[in-house]
Amino acid sequence: MRYFIHLGYDGSDYSGWQRQKDTPNTVQEVMETTLSRIFKKPVTIYGCGRTDAGVHASQYVIQIHLDEALVFDLKFRMNKNLPNGIAVFEIFEVNDKLHCRYDAVARTYDYFMHWNKDPGLLRYSSFYENIKLDFHLMRKATALILGTKDFKALCKQPDSYPNTLCHISKCELFVNESQGRLRFTIRGNRFLRGMVRYCMYYLLEVGSGNMTLDEFERVLNQEKERKEKKEKWPAHPNGLFLSRIEYPFLELKDSHNLIRMLKVGLE
């Protein structure tokens, strides 16, 4: 029997989602260890996607396969045994043919950033001290991202994918200058490794005057430059949230309390 488990996590203290041979303390490792303890046998889980070290998920879905139907409150037991930075919201029994990753039709990421030092935002918003930004240009750059189909230039490992095509259905920038904060939100049918953080990196490059809109458009279009290409760096991880997963057959409960608070003044 297959179950989808809807959860969220604070990625600050984890080495990303995916279990890796030489990388301890991943979210997947913690989840599998907890479930194996509950069921008293090894349990393998699959996730709806992967997040980098320090990246959060306010809405995330994993799947497990059990030989028999649940006869106890698994949500209660998981929340009792999981660290405080991971919470289970709801559990669904689903058809064995459904997959939490491949059957998701859309994902939404939100990136929060601030430029006035604020200890309350430290874990959930990226701090760029004293940065001066042209928000008008950044919104124009956001529109260029929305119109892009091939994101090879904004992928950390493009050769690991059969193709780098993504359909972006929403891409917006919200700014609150009085709070010294902004939010970048993007929704698409799929995302490549590092893609959202590279989007944010280039938005900051354009906004700070280090890159023109034309130069950014050439990057997106993968046009070769005569001079050596400028090395790109992903934006800080702690401001990034995987904030929504959508399925055509399942309505997930609202689990966006932290995101809702961070969005105040940025909607």
Kindly report, residue by residue over 184-213, the tens digit of the pLDDT: 999 999 999 999 999 999 999 999 999 999
pLDDT > 60? residue 227: no
Catalytic center residues: 52
Residue 224 pLDDT greater than 80, yes or no? no
Domains in the chain, ordered, with CATH?
2-103 (3.30.70.580), 106-242 (3.30.70.660)
Residue 149 reports pLDDT greater than 50:
yes
Identity of the amino acid at 231: E
Window from 102-111, 121-130, 162-171, 225-234 with minimum mean pLDDT: 225-234
Predicted pLDDT at 24: 83
Evaluate if residue 229 carries a pLDDT over 60.
no
pLDDT at 91 over 50: yes
- Give the mean pLDDT of 17-38: 92
Percent of the chain residues past pLDDT 70, beyond the cut: 97
Higher pLDDT, residue 254 or 55: 55
User: Could you tell me the pLDDT band of residue 19, with boundaries at 50, 70 and 90?
Assistant: confident
Prediction pTM value? 0.94
Residue 265 in this model has a pLDDT that exceeds 90:
yes
Pairing outcome for strands 181-188 and 106-114? antiparallel
User: What is the pLDDT at residue 226?
Assistant: 43
